[in-house]
Amino acid sequence: MKRIVWFMHVTLDGFVAGPNGEMNWINVGEELFDYAGRETAAADTALYGRVTYDMMQGYWPTAADGPNPSKHDIEHSGWYNSVTKVVVSKTLKGKELDKTKIISENVAEQIQELKEGEGANIVVFGSPSIGHLLMQHNLIDDYWLFVNPVVLGEGIPLFAGSRLQLKLVSSERLASGVLALHYEKDVK
C-alpha cells in the first residue's frame, strides 16, 4: 500500500499560514530541499488542493528552464513534470489537464483508493485544507513538519479538529534554525 507523506511548514504557535494565507515567514534552504528530494524520490504522485496546485503549476513545469536554475529547481521540476498530480477541487471539476486527476466528490474514498493502488508514495506539499481532510479520515502516514522560529499569533492552524496519536521518528535542527520533525501515524 502507498503511504501518504505530508510536508508542512508551521510556526512555533502552530499556524501554517497567516490569517490571509501569508507564507512569507517560511524559511527554506538546501537542507530543506534535501528532505523534499528524498521523499519525492520515493513518490510517483503529488496531491494538492487547488490553491497549492495553482502555485505549483505556475512555477515547477519550467523551473529548470531558467538561465541559472538551482540543483533543487532542476531536480524538483523533473520530478513534478513526470509524476501524476491529483488535485482536490470543485472549481476544476470536469477539466482535462495533462498528467492530472481532479477529485471533486467522495474525496476521502477516492484518496483511499489511490493509496491502495500500485506504485510509489503520495506526497502532499502544503495544502492545509487537504491535510485537515486527510487527518479526519486517518489517511496520512508520515508527517514532515518544519517548525519555523516564528510566532504569528493567528492564522490557519496546522491541526484543526483532529485527534491524532503520532510517533516521533526523527528530529533535526537545520542551520536556518528550522526544526525538521518526522512523525509517523501511531498504529497502537
> Residue 57: what residue type?
Q
Task: Report the DSSP beta bridge partners of residue 148.
Answer: 11
State the pTM of this model: 0.90
What is the percent of the chain with per-residue pLDDT over 90, rounded to a whole number? 72
The CATH number that applies at residue 156 is: 3.40.430.10
**Residue-number span of the structural domain to which 168 is assigned:** 4-185
Separation CA 8–CA 18 (nearest Å): 14
Residue 50's contacts (CB-CB under 8 Å, 6 or more residues apart) are: 87, 88, 89, 91, 92
Quote the number of domains for the chain: 1
Q: What was the pLDDT predicted at 75?
A: 92
Among candidate residues 161, 162, 168, 173, the one with its CA nearest the CA of residue 185: 168
Positions of the chain with pLDDT lower than 70, given as ranges: 188
CA distances from 39 to 11, 18, 23, 88, 125 (A): 22, 26, 22, 21, 11
